[in-house]
Structures are given as structure tokens and as C-alpha cells.
Chain A
Amino acid sequence: MFDKSIIIITPWFGGFAGGAERLARDMARELNKRGVKTFVFTTCCSSPFVNWWHNDYEPGVCEVEGIETRRFSTGNVREPYDAVINKLRGGKPLSTQDEHDFFKYGINSPDLVSALGEYINDDYELIALPYFHGLTHSVINEYPRKISLVPCFHNEPQFYWNATERLLNNAKHIFFNSPEEKQLTISRYGRKVGRRIVESVVTGVGVELAAGNGLPDGELERLPESYFVYAGRKDRGKNVHVLCAWFHDYATRFNHNTKLLFIGEGDKSLIPTANHFIDFGFVSESKKMQLIKQSKAVINLSENESFSIVTMEGWLCGVPSVVSAACPVTRNHVRRSNGGLFVSNKDEFCLALNYLEKNETLRRDLAANGRRYLAREFSFDVVLSRYLHELAAN
């Protein structure tokens, strides 16, 4: 039986819910529920969208959604980071020193790094995430082979930097979110870092309906009769512009009355002005689930996902998913589960939407497959036991 406490280290906690932060929050909450004492160590910065070198919160211990959280002052030297960003914007190549500055002077906390020293012992297991931010590099490199890593790798420039190799070498355990993320890492770092990557475990990410989100039919404003949903950040990186173009074609060619609902924050300018697009912006989790539940399917055409909880949310609410064939992670989720359709071009997209819109039985069967897949592979019991099994091993 696992009898240690766990400290999760992440740059932002409480004021922002990106993929990694959500993963940290869910892991801490669910481990605590199961009797594994879990804390979060984070900075006093509230979100990636504000000044990283300013303390929005007081340093010290507080409780965030029932999780004991310890905040530390952020670093206060900004200039070297800005210099690297300027180089990147100018398309100039980066030196090893630039990579170092990017991480050291990005979101970081020397106080937090130093405080961890007293927790490097047999009573604690420490896990840092994600790889993209300086805090993770600082803690793992300061205490080589003592802190585990949940990298949340994406196929992006930073993944190929030398700093990533050093991070992988210094991590105690490496936990991947998907087989595709692990495969990407093996293909880039397998030879250099060696078998510890190959032997690393794919934990997946826990996905369940949160308590209280039992999908009551609450009061919603008048909804379109037939609609699909995109739930997530409105961002070119998520292929929202492609989704809009393809859906416009679908609505024009197949069904003028079908709408596409957007849920989530991001760049509103990506949504064209047309009456088949409706942008709800940020909504509560409960409302999001209700909106998804009444939709025909959840669509996510992003080609760069490390796990994609968004893809799963439709299954939890009883609707199938439509994903991009160009994204190995979402495509393989759909393949393994038989919980939706994957599309590689506009024509396939239109045909897939038309097929789903007309076939209620098919939608229900696909969603049921997806839900079974989640229960089997990504229930919190399953995912967290993979973590504990590995952490308990050595």
C-alpha cells in the first residue's frame, strides 16, 4: 500500500484551468479522496495571461478547492526572458544559453525550488508539470532523479530544445499522457536518453464527470434544434479557423439550420460572422455539460493534442466525437474506443457530420463505446493506480 505523501509542483494553481493545471488539480483532489495526502506547490502568479513576475497572491499556505496549496513568490528578473521572446519573434535561432534563459527567467520561483529541499526524502514523492515552463525545469534539474515529470509534450519547437533532453535525464519517473506522446518522445530522445523513456509508463489522464455535474436538465436559454459543439480555447493552434471554414461549408451544403456552438475563452475574432456560429464564451462546467449533452457531437480538429480531455467530454455526456485524422492522439482515442469519427478533409468532415446528424442510434452507440473506453482506461482509479504503482516501485 502506498504510504507516502505527494507534492505536485505546477506554475499556476487556482486562478487558471489549462490542461496541465486541470490535470494537477484533478490528481491532487482524487488522490486526497483516496487517502493519499497530496499537496500542491505553486507560485503566487495567478495565470499565464498576467504578469509572470508579479505576485497576485500572498506567499504561504492556503486551500484551493479543498487542496492544501503552498504558494511561493515568483522570480523577479524578466529581461533575459523578454530577450529570448524577441529573438523567437524575429525568427532567429536560439543558443543553449537562450534556452536556459527562457526557462530560468520565465515563470519560476527560486523560493519554491529551495523549499523543496526539505521534502526530498522517503516520506514524499514529488511530481512536476508541465515541461513547457521554467519552474518544472528548475526543480527537476536542481534535484536530479528525485522529482518525477509529467511532461505533457506537444510536437512544438520547445520539445526539440536541448533543455528537454536534460529534463528527461534528470527526472525520476516520466509519466506520459498518451502512447502517442511517448512514441514522439522515443523517436526524438530514445537514443539519447535511453531505455528509461521506453520503460516509462503511460498513465493517461483521469476523466470522470465531476460530482454535482450529474447532468441535471437545468434551465438553458433557447437552444438551436440541431447543433454541434466545439469546447476549448479559440486558438489557431487548435485549428479553430479550419473548423469554421469546414463547418460553413457543411451548413451551406447540407443543413442551413444546423449550428456550431463554441464554448470557452480565446480569440473571438476567429469566429466568422454568420448565423450558424454561436459563441457562448466561458460557461460553468455544469452548463458546458448540459450544452454538450444536447448536441449532436463534440468536434475537435486540433492536430496537436497531448491527451485531449475535450474529446472525452462528449462521451461523458452521451454524444460522439469528431476529430482530425491528422492528430495521432485524438484519432487513436477514437479508433481504440470506436467512440466517434475521424476526418482528414472538408468532404469527409461534411459527410461525417451529416451521417451523425441523421443517425440518432449511431450517435448513441458511438458515445456508449466511448464511455466504456473511458471507464476502462481513464477512470481515476485506473489512472492513479498507474502512478502509484510506478512511484511505489522504487
Chain B
Amino acid sequence: MKILIDGQTLLTPEINRGIGTYFKNIVENILENDFTNDFYLTTVPGPHLDNLSPWARNKLSIVDSDAYEICASSLNQRDLCELYSKAIKNDIEKLGIDLYWSPNALMHNVFLPTRQTERCAFAATIFDLILLVMEKEYAKHLPAAALTAFKDKLKQLESEFDLYLHISRHTQSDFMSALAVQDKKHIVTPLAAKNAYQPYPFPKTPSANEYVLYAGGFDPRKNMDRALEAFAILQSRHANNPAIRSTDLLIACHMDEASEIRMLNRARQLRLDGKVRLTGFVDDDALVRLYQQARCLFFPSLYEGFGLPLLEGLACGLPVAAANTSSLPEVAGEFANYFDPYDVNEMAQSLYQALQAPVDYLSKLMRYEYAKDFSWQKTAQKTLEAFALFE
């Protein structure tokens, strides 16, 4: 088969976020696990290609067109999308492509090409339906045009695509409930933690203060405000427990200055002065170290398409306190203390339980082994099996 991979993600800031992690790992592993198909990547030459290994770049055929650069402008104008769609159609026909795959179809800053040829099958990876599921919440923060564009893309996916790769069963369920796609092909291709995520190799960490790791963000669904409130309840409930008193909340995510000030003010109001540490953006290596040296992972998100931080935390052997919503129970299985993310008292109690969970070698090893059952290699093989349905 000849498979055309849409490479727009490489030119977006998301290449350094979760979606980018998926893009890089799935492409690399597909190339490593496949010996019969030919893979083409739509993009333009440039340093963004360094996100892929030299080996992968060598194995891919780069399909270079001026139209593939316009996505970098993040404009979503109809004429630009049309131009992009035509370029895709031309390359499909010129190269004799059997399957076009958009690994990031619903991302706001990429084009979803309209189907202008029946020459090949169309596939897309679906991460989540957050804007639909939490429409009311997001309507307060996003321009109406963004929600409209999202819904338009959903309609297009529904009518023009043949194969959907969902990153969790929960995403598949949301997608199939929202759209008339029951007669199409659906495959669940879960995410995985990178090999670098492993338990800390020493009996204890060198840092003086232990910390709960919150690998979140300021997106409303990340539930940051309730997370702070729950941490304050934990601190006040266990004021006489020196281990809890000396535990900080470490928030690892990119944040702008305004968000940082707001967060620190809120922490002061909750009497958490000096207990909340903000790292700002950290690179991959530093993030692994933050996970490894944490006492536990706190993940109170209201909705996730998958929840990769859960796997990363478990791979590092951490006890986990997580919300009982969306895909999270599917990802962490029996290895998390779950809570209702709208109930701060329950969140505090669950966090306390996670802090009491054993962190001896065997306990860490069990969590690690569980997390390692999710692997990019398996996901790549499932993805290839799905593509083979259209051979």
C-alpha cells in the first residue's frame, strides 16, 4: 500500500505537546514495524523535520508542496483549506496513494482536507471531543468561530472519512454517540509512555521536600482551581502530620505570567504560601526527572481523550490520585485512587490515600509493569492492521 501521512503537526507548536508526542512516536514505530508499505509525508523541508529521527526521515518520502506550508500560518480560511485540499488530491492521484491519514484531524490549527477523490481511503486519528462534550464551559473562553470550525470538522469526518483511530475506548464511544459513523471502521490505538519513564533508580530522592506532581495546564478542564483547593484541604486536615505538612504541590506545565500570578494569589488565599511550586515549561528530560522524584501524581482533569500523564506517572512507579471521568479509569485501571473531580473533599481524601500508598521497590515495579503493557510498538501494529483493512 501507499500511505500518505499528513505532516501538518510538525509545523505547529503542538509538536512539543501531547499530540506531537503521539505524532512522533506513532510515525517512528509504524516505520520500524512495517516492511511492505510505502509511506509519504506531506510537509516542506526545514528544521521541523528534526523532530523525526534521521532513520525515519530516510524511510519516509517527503511530498513537498508550497501548499503544505500554509498550515503554518494557522489560518483556517476556506480558500486556503481549498488550496490545501487540492494539493492533497493531486498528490494522491499523482503518487497512486491508497490511504490518506490525518493523525491530528481535529486540531484547531491544521486543515482537514475535503475529500476530492475516491482514489483512496481516508483515515483520521481522534483524540477527544472535548469541545463538544464541554461545549458550555468552552463557549465562555473560546470564540464562537472556533466552536463552529470544530463542529464543521466533525461533520466532514462523519461524511468523508472511512477509518477512525481512537486513542481510547471512551473517545470512540463519545465519537460514535455524537456522529452517524456506526457503519465505518473504528480501531482503538492507545498512547504509551516513552521508555525514559522508569522508576527512580535509587532508594530515595535527594530533594529535601517531597512533592505531589500535577502535570496539568490552565485549560479549564484541567481543573486547576479545585486541585489547589483540594491540596489546601489536605494540608489543613493533616496539619499535625509532618510528612503531609512538608509535602509541596509541584505544578509542571507551561504558563504565562498572568496565569502564574493568578495561581500564586489563589495559593496565598488558600494559605498555601511556599507550598505551591510552578516550574513553567520543562523539556522532556527534566519532566522525566520531575516524575521520578515525585511522591505521587495528582490528575484531577474533568475530561481527557486519554490521559498520558497517568501512564507516565505509573511507569515511574508513582501512586496516582485521578479523576474518575472520561478515559482515565480505562488508562490507569486498578492502579489509581479515583475521585469525583467536582468534589474537593473527595479529591483531598483520595490524594491522602495516594500519599499513603506503598512506594517500596515491588509496588513501584508493579505500577511500572502495568504501564509498560501500553507500548508504541503495539499501537503501531494496531494502526497498521487498521490500514490493512483497506488494502
Contact = CB atoms under 8 A, between A and B. Distances in A.
Instruction: Determine if chain A interacts with chain B.
Output: yes
Interface of A: 1-3, 30-31, 33-36, 372, 375-376, 379-381, 384-385, 388-389
Interface of B is mostly: loop
Given A30-B206, A33-B206, A2 B201 contact: yes
B369 to A, nearest CB: 14
8 contacts: A1-B203, A2-B202, A34-B203, A34-B204, A34-B206, A375-B286, A381-B201, A389-B201
A384 B205 CA distance: 13
B342 interface: no
A390 B292 CA distance: 20
Interface of B: 200-206, 283, 285-286, 289, 292, 361
Contacts of A30: 206
Nearest to B362: A1
Contacts of B289: 379, 381
Nearest to A379: B289
Contact of A36 (B203, B205, B283, B361): B203
Given A34-B205, A379-B289, A388-B201, 19 more contacts: A1-B201, A2-B203, A3-B203, A30-B206, A31-B202, A33-B206, A34-B202, A34-B203, A34-B204, A35-B203, A35-B204, A36-B202, A372-B283, A375-B285, A381-B201, A381-B202, A381-B289, A384-B201, A385-B201
Contacts of B285: 375-376
Nearest to B207: A33
Contacts of A36: 202-203
B16 to A, nearest CB: 15
Nearest to B198: A385
A379 B206 CA distance: 12
A380 B293 CA distance: 13
Interface of A is mostly: helix
Nearest to B200: A381
Contacts of B206: 30, 33-34, 380
Nearest to A29: B206
Contacts of B202: 2, 31, 34-36, 381, 384-385, 388
B309 to A, nearest CB: 20
A384 B200 CA distance: 11
B367 to A, nearest CB: 14
Nearest to A1: B361
A178 to B, nearest CB: 20
Nearest to B289: A381
Contacts of A35: 202-204
B132 to A, nearest CB: 40
Nearest to B361: A1
A8 to B, nearest CB: 16
A376 B282 CA distance: 13
B346 to A, nearest CB: 33
Contacts of A2: 201-203
A1 B364 CA distance: 10
A31 B202 CA distance: 8
Contacts of A388: 201-202
Q: Which of B202, B286, B289, B292 has the most CB of A within 10 A?
A: B202
A85 B318 CA distance: 57
Nearest to A392: B201
A1 B361 CA distance: 6
B80 to A, nearest CB: 35
A2 B202 CA distance: 7
A100 to B, nearest CB: 39
Among all A-B residue pairs, the 6 with the closest Cβ atoms: A35-B203, A34-B202, A35-B204, A1-B361, A33-B206, A385-B201
Contacts of B286: 375
A200 B286 CA distance: 27
Nearest to A32: B206
A176 to B, nearest CB: 20
A370 to B, nearest CB: 15
A102 B230 CA distance: 67
A376 B289 CA distance: 10
Nearest to A3: B203
Contacts of A389: 201
A19 B203 CA distance: 27
Q: Which of A3, A34, A36, A379 has the most CB of B within 10 A?
A: A34
A380 to B, nearest CB: 8
Contacts of B205: 34
A35 B283 CA distance: 27
Nearest to A33: B206
A206 to B, nearest CB: 11
Nearest to B206: A33
A36 to B, nearest CB: 6
Nearest to A381: B289
B170 to A, nearest CB: 35
A379 B288 CA distance: 13
